[in-house]
A and B are shown apart, each in its own frame.
Chain A
Amino acid sequence: MALSKKDILDMESLSVDEITLILDTADRMKEISQRPIKKVPTLRGKTVVLFFYEPSTRTRTSFDIAAKRLSADSLSLSASTSSMVKGETLMDTGRNLEAMNPDVIVIRHTCAGAPHVLAKILKSSVINAGDGMHAHPTQSLLDLMTVRENKHKISGLKIAIIGDISHSRVARSNIIGFTKMGADVVLSGPPTMIPMGIETLGAAVTHNVEDAIEDADVVMMLRIQKERQQQFLFPTEREYSMVYGLNNARLSKAKDDVLIMHPGPINRGVEIAYDVADGPYSFILDQVTNGVAVRMALLYLVTGGAHHADTD
């Protein structure tokens, strides 16, 4: 089966079958990264542009490594080194890049919908690496992969997502992704960080973090940004950690085989206690490892790899 989509923009536009195909492909890709020679010729001659309007270390590196392991040529552009600083619009930058015939444009942007607008005007494949507060589909896919790998299923699991839901594209994509695959998603966080109408995405909301964690199969903590204090969303990191932070006492309410996840970067001592982040239930670094596999799978699938090459 091949992926019929040109672009990977959000979890909403992916079907259950497409998600399953991506996860299955990622499972097979993962092995490549464990070889002594971590490179296959599959995407030789393909060009992948990593276009990051917003700072990123993890996601950009992950895409870069994924492209290189498949022998694609990848190059990075950031807002500060592109013509953006000279006042060029996103559409013009996109059209100029396209004139150099790249195969895939991976874009991260501070504005929601930017990848969608770009995808509409470009023939190249566009992969959304995070747009504003909207979507982060590759993160959601790597989270789904991590859960499926360790629980051998997704359907029927209880997934607790805790923190600043309002500002989180990871939360939005995971609510949609996990509910689509049959899991129950429960959200918790300060009432100031729960956006209006979020339940219409299919998640339940509780303001009591213990209720969210109780019997959870997965507890996903979100990063708390200090600057949100200026928007009156929470008073102090100290109080946040006391009321909402994941510590061992709270964790004991979850299932015995709970997975603790975090999209990173983590704030130790704020949303997650130091020892919990490093503890036996933490799969935070497995997520990062799987991120490379998921992105290899996506680059492979959107370039039509399944039609004319195999993963060896």
Chain B
Amino acid sequence: MPTLIRGGRVIDPGHVNDILDIVIKDGIIVDIKQNALEKGNDTDFTVIDASGKLVVPGLIDMHVHLRDPGQEYKETIESGSRAAAFGGFTAVCCMPNTNPVNDCRQVTEYILEKAAKAGAARVYPVAAVSKGLNGEHLCEYGELKEAGAVALSDDGNPVTNSRLMRRALEYSTRFKLPVISHCEELSLAAGGAMNEGAVATRMGLPGIPNAAESIMVVRDIALSELTGVPVHIAHVSAMESVRAIREAKRRGVPVTAETAPHYFLLTDASVKGYDTNAKMNPPLRTEQDKEAVCQGLADGTIDVIATDHAPHSLIEKAVEFDRAANGVIGLETSVPLGLKLVDAGILDISGLIEKMSTNPARILGLAAGLKIGLPADITVIDLELSYQIDAGRFQSLSRNTPFDKWDVKGKAMMTLVGGRIVFCDKNFKS
């Protein structure tokens, strides 16, 4: 049955911002206009009353860890893609640091098969830059592309060998696979458990300086400039990185960047009490860095908000801080946390949707947006709904979030993938 999304505020950044109806047939957007169907003529349609709601292009989280294959007790492709749908995401890009690593056709195909079976958000596999994430040999990008990989990254590990990084950038262009770089200078970061600074000193925890990130950001900018190949910087946390990316963009270097809600909302003060839910890599930085990240989001230096959704169980988190695993989950909190930027006047709604949907699509070379002829990947958001985050009710198998019990406003109410409703909030009547 065709679907009608009626009367919502439809925003497709740069194209549309109006009260409109969207008509979907066979999973494709076939019409976007005011009063697309008279009441009474819509009996053959599934009608979704979106009045008072926001209707936006499906959100894309270009940086998640689904832990499958290998660590299915933390997350599976099924649970992770369902968590994504509940959070308003129509697509996620899953990083290759699984066990086995996604560095070959078989793993990529396995991920896509499981995602198809789950039938929630789309899952786009990111394949490894180097075989086994070892930083020694290039993976077979041609075959990985054919199998369905959308990008390349050794995320979790940096590509320490600059020559390999250069060649990966060059070689990847033949297959139009963007390279996503986890920037970390390991010899500077070694042994660190949190941001280096007054808080770490007081807590007696070994620190990781900002330079451990920014040195590699500067290197990757130099390699992008050398090769002319775009590079995407993952999870920017430090003000020096923001500055370097801003300056590079000004010069026309094809660099793009992402950050995550925890970097624009939290500082290393959250680690106090040795809370392992505030432990991630790169670490939470200072107030100054947080402000720089917000400024970078506001002025376009940072293109994308991703979550770096990194599920861990209590086995990894209910331990000594030094020994706890890095990472926080984010799929089911990203929309309300992103809206805090709108509340603070850092982004407008359209700007937020750009960073959570159209910009990631552009960087990944995916068709996206609310346009006639495109698949109906659509998110419906209630901007007014106030509630408290309750990690206990997450679809994700893990609970490692520093945002539990936060009071927030705004929530995804419905998620459609290819015209199919993959999530509908129980309080949203369609």
State the A residues within 8 Å of B (CB): 89-91, 109-114, 116-117, 131-135, 169, 172, 195-198, 200-201
Quote the shortest CB–CB distance from B188 to chain A (angstroms): 12
Whether B319 contacts A89 by the Cβ 8 Å rule is yes
User: Chain A's interface: helix, strand, loop or mixed, by majority?
Assistant: mixed
Whether B274 contacts A200 by the Cβ 8 Å rule is no
Q: Which of B197, B202, B321 has the most CB of A within 10 A?
A: B202
Known: A112-B274, A135-B204. A196 touches B319 (CB 8 A): no
Nearest opposing residue in chain B for A112, CB measure? B204
Whether A134 contacts B207 by the Cβ 8 Å rule is no
Whether B320 contacts A114 by the Cβ 8 Å rule is yes
Q: At the interface, yes or no: B273 with Cβ under 8 Å from chain A?
A: yes
- Which B194-215 residues have a C-beta within 8 angstroms of A? 196-207
Whether B201 contacts A113 by the Cβ 8 Å rule is no
B320 contact from A113, A169, A201, Cβ within 8 A:
A113
CA–CA, A114 to B323, complex, Å? 10
Which A residues lie within 8 Å of B203 (CB)?
112-113, 134
Nearest opposing residue in chain B for A131, CB measure? B204
B201 contact from A91, A110, A196, Cβ within 8 A:
A196
Whether A132 contacts B201 by the Cβ 8 Å rule is no
Q: At the interface, yes or no: B372 with Cβ under 8 Å from chain A?
A: no
Whether B202 contacts A172 by the Cβ 8 Å rule is yes
Which B residues lie within 8 Å of A133 (CB)?
204-206
Whether B197 contacts A197 by the Cβ 8 Å rule is yes
Which A residues lie within 8 Å of B291 (CB)?
none
CA–CA, A310 to B1, complex, Å? 84
Whether B205 contacts A200 by the Cβ 8 Å rule is no
CA–CA, A201 to B321, complex, Å? 21
- Which B239-253 residues have a C-beta within 8 angstroms of A? none
Whether B274 contacts A201 by the Cβ 8 Å rule is no
Whether A117 contacts B204 by the Cβ 8 Å rule is no
Which B residues lie within 8 Å of A114 (CB)?
320
Quote the shortest CB–CB distance from A80 to chain B (angstroms): 17
CA–CA, A114 to B197, complex, Å? 20
Quote the shortest CB–CB distance from A118 to chain B (angstroms): 10
Nearest opposing residue in chain B for A120, CB measure? B273
Known: A133-B204, A135-B204, A172-B202. A113 touches B196 (CB 8 A): no
Quote the shortest CB–CB distance from A90 to chain B (angstroms): 6
Whether B198 contacts A112 by the Cβ 8 Å rule is no
CA–CA, A60 to B319, complex, Å? 24
Known: A109-B320, A111-B321, A196-B198. A169 touches B204 (CB 8 A): yes
Whether A112 contacts B201 by the Cβ 8 Å rule is no
CA–CA, A110 to B274, complex, Å? 14
Q: At the interface, yes or no: B287 with Cβ under 8 Å from chain A?
A: no
Quote the shortest CB–CB distance from A18 to chain B (angstroms): 20
User: Can you list 25 residue pairs at the A/B interface with Cβ under 8 Å?
Assistant: A89-B319, A90-B319, A91-B318, A110-B322, A111-B320, A111-B321, A112-B204, A112-B205, A113-B274, A116-B273, A172-B201, A172-B202, A172-B204, A195-B200, A195-B201, A196-B196, A196-B197, A196-B198, A196-B207, A197-B197, A197-B198, A197-B202, A198-B198, A198-B201, A201-B201
Known: A112-B203, A200-B202. A132 touches B322 (CB 8 A): yes
Whether A117 contacts B320 by the Cβ 8 Å rule is yes
Whether A89 contacts B318 by the Cβ 8 Å rule is yes
Which A residues lie within 8 Å of B197 (CB)?
196-197
Whether A200 contacts B273 by the Cβ 8 Å rule is no
CA–CA, A198 to B197, complex, Å? 9
B205 contact from A89, A91, A109, A132, Cβ within 8 A:
A132
Quote the shortest CB–CB distance from B374 to chain A (angstroms): 50
Quote the shortest CB–CB distance from B323 to chain A (angstroms): 6
Quote the shortest CB–CB distance from A221 to chain B (angstroms): 20
Which B residues lie within 8 Å of A131 (CB)?
204
Which A residues lie within 8 Å of B198 (CB)?
196-198, 200
Quote the shortest CB–CB distance from A115 to chain B (angstroms): 10
Q: Which of A110, A111, A133, A201 has the most CB of B within 10 A?
A: A111
Which B residues lie within 8 Å of A201 (CB)?
201-202
Which B residues lie within 8 Å of A90 (CB)?
319-320
Interface string of B300-326 (1 = CB under 8 A from A): 000000000000000000111111000
Q: Which of A131, A132, A135 has the most CB of B within 10 A?
A: A132
CA–CA, A13 to B319, complex, Å? 22
CA–CA, A116 to B274, complex, Å? 8
Given contacts A109-B320, A117-B274, A200-B201, 18 further A-B contacts (CB under 8 A): A89-B319, A90-B320, A91-B318, A110-B322, A111-B320, A112-B205, A113-B203, A116-B274, A117-B320, A132-B204, A133-B205, A134-B204, A172-B201, A172-B202, A196-B197, A196-B198, A197-B199, A198-B198
Q: Closest 8 CB pairs between A and B?
A: A134-B204, A197-B198, A113-B274, A111-B320, A133-B204, A112-B204, A111-B322, A195-B201
CA–CA, A289 to B323, complex, Å? 35
Which A residues lie within 8 Å of B201 (CB)?
172, 195-198, 200-201
Whether B202 contacts A113 by the Cβ 8 Å rule is no
CA–CA, A90 to B273, complex, Å? 17
Quote the shortest CB–CB distance from A84 to chain B (angstroms): 11
Q: Which of B200, B203, B323 has the most CB of A within 10 A?
A: B203
CA–CA, A194 to B407, complex, Å? 40
Quote the shortest CB–CB distance from A128 to chain B (angstroms): 11
CA–CA, A40 to B204, complex, Å? 37
Whether A112 contacts B319 by the Cβ 8 Å rule is no
Quote the shortest CB–CB distance from B398 to chain A (angstroms): 17
Known: A112-B274, A197-B197, A200-B198. A134 touches B320 (CB 8 A): no
CA–CA, A216 to B416, complex, Å? 72
CA–CA, A89 to B204, complex, Å? 21
CA–CA, A109 to B321, complex, Å? 12
Which B residues lie within 8 Å of A113 (CB)?
203-205, 274, 320-321
CA–CA, A199 to B50, complex, Å? 56
Quote the shortest CB–CB distance from A226 to chain B (angstroms): 18
